[in-house]
Amino acid sequence: LDALFGCFGVPVASGTTLFRYIRLRDAAGLFSALGERGILLRHFFGQPHVLRAGLPGGGEEWQRLESALADWAQ
């Protein structure tokens, strides 16, 4: 997950086996862009630059995430 986010300039700050925390200036933009594609991220009140992403379940979910990140990064 770190490598996939990194390919699109999304820095992973930390996380666990199932979740990764992202610190990003345009966290709101990424949250909206992925949400429009049905990919949910968690945002945190009072921390506008932090998001949490869960590990995709299977191959199709990984592809959806990659496609959504590619569209957002353009």
What is the predicted pLDDT for the residue at 23? 95
- State the Cα–Cα distance between residues 41 and 52, nearest whole angstrom: 6
Q: Has domain 2-73 been given CATH number 3.90.1150.10?
A: yes
Per cent of the chain over pLDDT 90 is 100
pTM greater than the 0.85 cutoff:
yes
Q: What share of residues in the chain are helix, strand, coil (percent, to 5)?
A: 40, 25, 30
Helices 59-73, 27-36: crossing angle, 10 deg rounding: 130
Angle (CA) 70 73 74, round 5°: 90
Where do the structural domains in the chain lie, given as residue ranges?
2-73
As beta bridge partners, residue 12 has 22
44-61: pLDDT as tens digits: 999 999 999 999 999 999
13-55: pLDDT as tens digits: 999 999 999 999 999 999 999 999 999 999 999 999 999 999 9
